[in-house]
Structure 1
């Protein structure tokens, strides 16, 4: 096979900045059916059997080139896919919010452009709910059944604004013990996906309508953003894309070049409408396309190197 590993240190991935473009047309439906919604998280703590807490991975540097954001060198999985001219598999992992992200990315990264956006998200799951579903084990089973993904998009948190039972005692929400347990599980999921060759992105949650819930979600976003910084994973902050000019929750936001007033939120004050999901993922879709095109360009340069070396 081509000498990817010998060339990987010659380049880094150029990422496009996160765009805050307006959403496409008004449509809060998927396949003619209302979009599935998750129930508002409860404040009660559900006892669970704790999973082993892995040691956090060492921070991975995010090199900078000419002031433009870059990430890690190309993953071998993606390089192999583009070399074989295969479809880029984008796996979306998360809860019901992840369902919305999947639908939005499916529309923006179509099969006609050689993408395959796969839904691995599932309603009513989270890192505090391992008694009902261990996310690391479940993801490992999904990948074993379907094969690896080139790019993984992750979003959790709306179901995790509660304490967790671990090490024989309850840990309150955002307490040091809670952060240790949940952080270990988050790290384990990211490491699992990377070990299977995926480039990982984490998508944060938007502004919430209920003030008390929004305060928890803002703290949750900060926790995940710091964790992703430690792991060298791009964190996509969607909160600024879900508010009005004053920074307040807004069910309607300007859309399109003419700024047409468009419904961006679901009735529960938690989820987005379909145009809303497209709105908050447009920048991510741009970044994925940029990453893939850079990998294709890199693969093309390698082809020329290999051809020249054979002369």
Structure 2
């Protein structure tokens, strides 16, 4: 009986092992066939590096706010010959209703034959109205049914564009004058943000760009030049021309950054002959075999014709070869034992040139971090405290400005450190005696 049981277990084990081997073989075959496809579709840049006809198509979708945002983007990218901006807005529409335009089902028809490379969405003017298919007793914005319905529509819009490999930027709804409306829009922004991230898009938050120092709605504020101007209309919903230009500034920064990354992706050497590489990148320096550069090679030889331009060819980035080394050190022994020598091998694997070039590009594009300001406070007890404050960047202009008062300023010394306000002569807090203007006795 025991032998039969063991043989049965053995046969079951062999059968499971056979199935596992077959699955692994099938998986490896699929992986062996898919690298070329993944190499073509999986690009590091958010925006495709190779648009058709070398020109990017940017479409702006949304409600009435999209008209002003499109105009702001046109002014922001003025002079960009390789970028075309098209307005695809529906002023009376919203994501919360299917009439007069259903974004979840009619977006493909609105786009037409040529899909955009870059899509910008903005809603917020009419999103607070209830759904048509929701009963009166279910019109609360925080109900689960409402959230599921709204999230589903945003998800359908995102998926319709992601199939075409479009880079999607969704501008968050801005703060409104009504506190109740603003509270509802914050919920709507959270629902949109979740679906945008899940579908591989970018959510551009603009809420704090149109608030005052207390985080409340402000009709006036600094424009891109820093001047305080009217940014919102009297209805507390729409923007002025300066406001739309500022609204476009937030998404413009993201698009410009991604366009730079996309253009840098074109500099990676392609597989193929030198003639093919020259045809694809005619203006780039030809990649050569990596050799050491001597001072003689760096010095350009001046041609006989003085008018001819002097050019210098630098070698391309080469693969870093593997360099392994060994380190030997002596381990002290305990009493009665002999010291032992231990050898450790330090492995330095080879690094491809593409990886080195990618890291170098990232280092060049990284911004220097803001250095904090050190504040020193000396107390009467002899205690000294040091604090470091780093100012946050101003969302209005994208520039970091000083928002903390200096420790030498009078308001800081009086209000923060609690020092006594120095009195002025003749003021009510001047208790000096005798008074300089007092009459002499007698």
TM-based fold match above 0.5 = yes
Map 1:34-49; keep pairs closer than 5 Å.
none
Which position in structure 1 is the counterpart of 2:112? Answer: 144
Hey, what's the Cα distance between the residues in 1 that align with 2:104 and 2:90? 13
Map 1:134-213; keep pairs closer than 5 Å.
134-145=102-113, 147-166=114-133, 171-172=138-139, 173-213=141-181
Hey, what's the Cα distance between the residues in 2 that align with 1:280 and 1:219? 20
Which position in structure 1 is the counterpart of 2:258? Answer: 291
Q: Are the counterparts in 2 of residues 110 and 116 from structure 1 also a CA contact under 8 Å?
A: no
SS in 2 for 1:141: helix
1:82-112 C-alpha deviation (Å, 9 max, x unpaired): 6x42x21111110001111111111112354
Q: Are the counterparts in 2 of residues 166 and 181 from structure 1 also a CA contact under 8 Å?
A: no
Q: Is 2:204 the counterpart of 1:236?
A: yes
RMSD: 2.6
Structure 2 residue corresponding to 1:12, chosen from 40, 44, 52: 44
Q: Are the counterparts in 1 of residues 93 and 99 from structure 2 also a CA contact under 8 Å?
A: no
Which position in structure 1 is the counterpart of 2:51? Answer: 81
SS in 1 for 2:50: helix
The TM-score with structure 1 as length reference comes to: 0.69
SS in 1 for 2:236: coil
Structure 2 residue corresponding to 1:106, chosen from 71, 74, 96: 74
Which structure has the higher relative contact order (CA within 8 Å, separation 6+)? 1
1:205-231 C-alpha deviation (Å, 9 max, x unpaired): 111112222222222222222232333
Task: Return closer, same or farther for 1:287/1:256 CA change in 2, 3 Å cut-off.
Answer: closer
Q: Which 5+ residue runs of structure 2 have no aligned equivalent?
A: 1-35, 278-442
1:262-305 C-alpha deviation (Å, 9 max, x unpaired): 11111211011111122122131122122122212212324x44
Q: Are the counterparts in 1 of residues 219 and 231 from structure 2 also a CA contact under 8 Å?
A: yes
Select the structure of larger CA radius of gyration. 2
Q: CA deviation at 1:307?
A: 4.2
SS in 2 for 1:154: strand
Task: Return closer, same or farther for 1:163/1:256 CA change in 2, 3 Å cut-off.
Answer: closer
Hey, what's the Cα distance between the residues in 1 that align with 2:78 and 2:37? 27
Hey, what's the Cα distance between the residues in 2 that align with 1:228 and 1:256? 27
Q: Are the counterparts in 2 of residues 98 and 156 from structure 1 also a CA contact under 8 Å?
A: yes
The TM-score with structure 2 as length reference comes to: 0.50
Q: CA deviation at 1:163?
A: 2.6
Hey, what's the Cα distance between the residues in 1 that align with 2:137 and 2:129? 11
SS in 1 for 2:49: helix
Which position in structure 1 is the counterpart of 2:382? Answer: none
Range with greater deviation from structure 2 (147-156 or 205-214): 205-214
Task: Return closer, same or farther for 1:157/1:260 CA change in 2, 3 Å cut-off.
Answer: closer
Task: Return closer, same or farther for 1:194/1:214 CA change in 2, 3 Å cut-off.
Answer: same
The total of aligned residue pairs comes to 241
Q: Are the counterparts in 1 of residues 231 and 240 from structure 2 also a CA contact under 8 Å?
A: yes
Hey, what's the Cα distance between the residues in 1 that align with 2:231 and 2:223? 9
Hey, what's the Cα distance between the residues in 2 that align with 1:269 and 1:176? 29
Q: Are the counterparts in 1 of residues 66 and 121 from structure 2 also a CA contact under 8 Å?
A: yes
Which position in structure 1 is the counterpart of 2:428? Answer: none
Structure 2 residue corresponding to 1:95, chosen from 16, 38, 63: 63
Hey, what's the Cα distance between the residues in 1 that align with 2:40 and 2:117? 19
